[in-house]
Amino acid sequence: MRRKGSDTRAEIQHVAMDLFTERGYEATSMREIAEQLGITKAALYYHFENKEAIILSLLDGHLSALDELLDRAAERPHSPEMASELLGGWLALTAARGMRTMRFAAANQNALRAARPPGSGGTLERIERASLLMLGPDSDLQDQLRVRMALLTVHSAVLASQGTKAEDTDILAAAMDGAALLIGDLFPVPEVPTEGEWLTNASA
């Protein structure tokens, strides 16, 4: 059976990210990605013009999912419950859709910075917006820093897991524990999503 275009694109993203993480971005060629997929180079170039385009497609997909989460939160009145749900949703979504991206980032920081330089509308801008939604514009600086650190706990846990046998579920659990310690009494600790919930988010 022939693949659908969307299926092929998703397969390319999946295989390329694995190869970039295992072998390194610079050491992986478009030819190797095509060979791993069992398609021609021409078919690969039909979907992505180069390796950077593959990276950007993955990053943009994750950022779009974060934007949807933030937009939904912005439609609700500010409350401790909203802040807690936003943090929990952020961590679950980051674990589900961003874990592979962060594993790649840990192994290929130079390539990631080149593809999406700081200040170009990336994750940091979403972290700032999330912090404002959770705390309000006149919040204490220390509270802002604590919330921003809480939003980054999945990223920190992924980095800390390098060289260990930690599974994705272990990383998410550690991230949720770290976030709970950071937010303290600012708002209720978010509920830890079940594996089924955040894996559903990953495939959405």
CATH number of 1-49: 1.10.10.60
Query: Which residue from 164, 171, 161 is spatially nearest to 198, judged by alpha carbons?
Result: 171
What angle, 0 to 180 degrees and rounded to 10, lies between the N-to-C axes of helices 5-23 and 30-37?
Answer: 120
pTM, whole model, 2 decimals? Answer: 0.75
Query: Which residue from 77, 92, 75, 87 is spatially nearest to 187, judged by alpha carbons?
Result: 87
Model pLDDT for residues 142-174, shown as the tens digit of each residue: 999 999 999 999 888 888 887 888 888 888 889
pLDDT higher than threshold 80 for residue 197: no
Angle at 195 (CA atoms; ends 186, 198), nearest 5 degrees: 65
* DSSP state letters, 65-79: HHHHHHHHHHTSPP-
Average pLDDT over residues 2-22: 79
> Cβ distance 143 to 182 under 8 Å?
no
What is d(CA 157, CA 177) in angstroms, rounded to the nearest whole number? 10
Domain ranges of the chain: 1-49, 59-203
Model pLDDT for residues 84-128, shown as the tens digit of each residue: 999 998 988 887 766 666 777 666 667 666 666 655 567 889 999
Q: Which residue type does 14 have? A: H
**What is the predicted pLDDT for the residue at 95?**
77
